[in-house]
Chains A and B, each alone.
Chain A
Amino acid sequence: MATVRLLEKLGVAFEFPKDQTCCGQPQFNSGCFRDAAKLAGKMFRVFKDFDWVVCPSGSCTGMVREYYELLLEREKGGEEFKHLVSHTFELCEFLIDILKVETIDASFPHKVSLHQSCHGLRGLGLGVPSEQVLPGRTGKVRRLLESLRGIEIVTTGRSDECCGFGGTFSVFEGAVSSFIGRDRIRDYEQAGAEVIVSYDMSCLMHLDGLIRRDKKLLRIMHIAEILDGAVA
């Protein structure tokens, strides 16, 4: 609901198409492209008539933008398809690139660490990947966070290491997945973060599962919950 409130505050006329289900990423990432294509087809039909599609998840957005062309063989040449793929945005990048929002009028006086989801970071370019040499650039999501009053952003040694979730990887390779996640949580603890914030619920769900199992004090929050300002 934070996304709803945020969009409303920004004066966006929006709708929640009730027929929507899933973009098909779990199937796609597991290699079941035929199954994924069925869901992609549904997503396409449900959303193709909108000006913009905004999604509070980096990996779902990345799925549409990067991989739908592999799944929707029949549709991919058409104008509707091109429109959908080029007009599907992750929430933060929609705020920055389309609404041209530079600052958010909200306060969040906490020590926060930004967890970059891999698909958002490297797939959508929401941040500056640590592997690449791109001097002078600041990530989009970080810029939004920085504009909040009272916020203190703490960074970890490994600035954008994966959380280990990886979709079905978290089940197929449970041991490695959890081990990576615990390492990541330790990074955030050592950086002194109170809250891990991200734009991907799947990373957060995985990290939160580990945090609660280990009875740690860290909290997770979706970035919309912070930008919305309702929780400060």
Chain B
Amino acid sequence: MKSHARLAAGFLKQEERAHWHDQALWYVREKRDRMAASVPDWERLRDTAQAIKRHALANLPHYLEEFEGNAAARGAIVHYALDAAEHNRIVLEILKGRNARLVAKSKSMLSEECGLNEYLERNGVQVVETDLAERIIQLAGERPSHIVLPSIHIRKEEVGDIFHEHLGTEKGESDPTRLTRAARTHLRERFLAAQAGISGVNFAVAETGAVVICTNEGNADLGNSLPDLYIAVMGVEKVIPKTRDLSVFLRLLSRSATGQPISAYTSHLLGPRPGQAMHIVIVDNGRSEILQRERFHRAAFCIRCGACLNTCPVYRRSGGHSYNYVIPGPIGTILAMHRDLKKFKDMAYASTLCGSCTAVCPVKIDIHRQIVLWRNDVVEAGYLGRAKSAALKTATLGMKSTRFFRMGGWTVRTILRILPPFVFNNRLTIWGKSRDLPRMPARSFRAEFRAYSRRKTNPPELGAKKEGRS
């Protein structure tokens, strides 16, 4: 498995494309800024959202039971799955029980996390993604590169090629409207033929048992109303106590995600339609472990808006596929670490720690702080790598003693001044590959300061030191 650094370097080889990717996502970030500014008390809204999440997740068993009871009272059948494997098994059993061979599926990051599609396909169930971007990804045989904009890395001309191959559109067609129409026709046929619909869940309201789903294409609504079988899959963390809490989250979600005041469709599903079976599969898959880790528990507050991806200077310039975990970017990083520290260790280092992720997060997850804390776990587990560890150990030794520190400073100054710059500023060094090394002063600051103090008739060094604290 290639590291993020290598995959990112590969991504950046196509410079023009990398700029396009960066600008496309920055455009979304700017839309988000405008929308956030249009809400009075945006920052208070974020605080409130976090408080609701904290409360709901601190009382998770209570609210899950309340949700389960109310959903069941409205005719839904509720299942619990401990992990991805159990989730997949439950979904397959439900489908088999109704002899469903074709599923119209709406976007769900949980199903990506669990590898549901592959599992169902292996077991003879055909899954059609009905979100346009997800369908593009599925036809291209790729995985999403973004949690809200899964095909953000694919350009419209490439969509034209994919649709030409799979949907029979004209060769060279790249007009978004015409391509979307072709996809619509293609998907309508599948909606009508599907024996079951599956979708993710944005919020599950405990007091009513409602499942709330936000989409822009209305595909989830066709998927949950046309077939006679509908399955909603959700992580345990989706439960919120009251309907009125939606007034906080719905205002935050679409603004943070895509810079829209609200998503085009917000559907509240209160039980199945007449003649339909509705199942809700509630999955833990490591979430309660996240909640138990004090330093990292806020990662479970995530509402999957993707704002931290759009704002991340590294994500924008490395693309979602440079992160090996199914969820990329800053939030993906702090979720991946819970999954497999060794496997995803490089993701912890794919950040400048600029903190923009933390500042955009609508539920105020301390993302960049968690990233640096995870780095410590990587180091303590011995996964940093020998060269990097040795370099940092040496630096520490050199910095611990003032004498070594000064000698080190002298050495670097002297070497950099004596040797010609091309020795360092070349492709063989990591810094010098694309940057020049700093110009070195002839004397250290210490020496300058000493000379300066000597010049002063009244040295400023006196009188600053404390004479005992009162």
Contact = CB atoms under 8 A, between A and B. Distances in A.
A166 B379 contact: no
B119 interface: no
A129 interface: yes
B327 interface: no
Q: Does more than half of chain B's interface fall in helix, strand or loop, or is it mixed?
A: helix
A36 B400 CA distance: 10
Interface in A160-174: 161-162, 164-174
B359 A169 contact: no
B355 A179 contact: no
A213 interface: yes
Q: Does more than half of chain A's interface fall in helix, strand or loop, or is it mixed?
A: helix
Contact of B37 (A8, A36, A133): A133
Interface residues of B, number: 74
Given A18-B446, A27-B392, A30-B388, A132 B436 contact: no
Interface stretch (B1-9, B103-111, B203-211): B1-9
Contacts of A118: 352-356
B392 A180 contact: no
B435 A210 contact: yes
B244 interface: no
Interface residues of A, number: 73
A167 B349 CA distance: 11
B402 A213 contact: no
Residue with the greatest number of chain A CB neighbours at <10 A, chosen from B37, B354, B355, B462: B354
Nearest to A22: B399
Contacts of A29: 353, 372, 375
A170 B431 contact: yes
B436 A209 contact: yes
Contacts of B399: 21-22, 24, 39
Interface in A104-144: 118-119, 122-123, 129-135
A213 B462 contact: no
A24 B317 CA distance: 28
Nearest to A31: B375
B45 to A, nearest CB: 9
Nearest to B395: A26
A101 interface: no
A14 B26 contact: no
B352 A177 contact: yes
Given A39-B396, A133-B42, A173-B5, A180 B352 contact: yes
Nearest to A46: B402
Interface string A181-225: 101000000000000000000000110111011000000000000
B460 A22 contact: no
Interface in B361-401: 372-379, 384, 388-389, 392-393, 395-396, 399-401
Residue with the greatest number of chain A CB neighbours at <10 A, chosen from B396, B436, B449: B396
Nearest to A177: B352
Given A15-B464, A122-B359, A162-B352, A179 B12 contact: yes
Contact of A49 (B26, B42, B388, B466): B466
Contacts of B311: 131
A99 interface: no
Contact of A50 (B358, B377, B464): B464
Contact of A183 (B22, B349, B452): B22
Interface in A29-83: 29-33, 35-36, 38-39, 42, 49-51, 67, 70, 79, 83
Closest 5 CB pairs between A and B? Answer: A31-B375, A166-B352, A209-B435, A118-B354, A131-B359
22 contacts: A13-B463, A16-B446, A16-B449, A18-B446, A27-B396, A29-B372, A31-B374, A31-B384, A38-B400, A122-B359, A132-B42, A165-B352, A169-B351, A173-B314, A174-B5, A174-B430, A176-B318, A178-B434, A179-B317, A180-B314, A180-B317, A205-B438
Interface of B: 4-5, 8-9, 12, 18-19, 22, 26, 33, 36-37, 39, 42-43, 311, 313-314, 317-318, 348-356, 358-360, 372-379, 384, 388-389, 392-393, 395-396, 399-402, 405, 425, 430-431, 433-438, 445-446, 448-449, 452, 460-466, 469
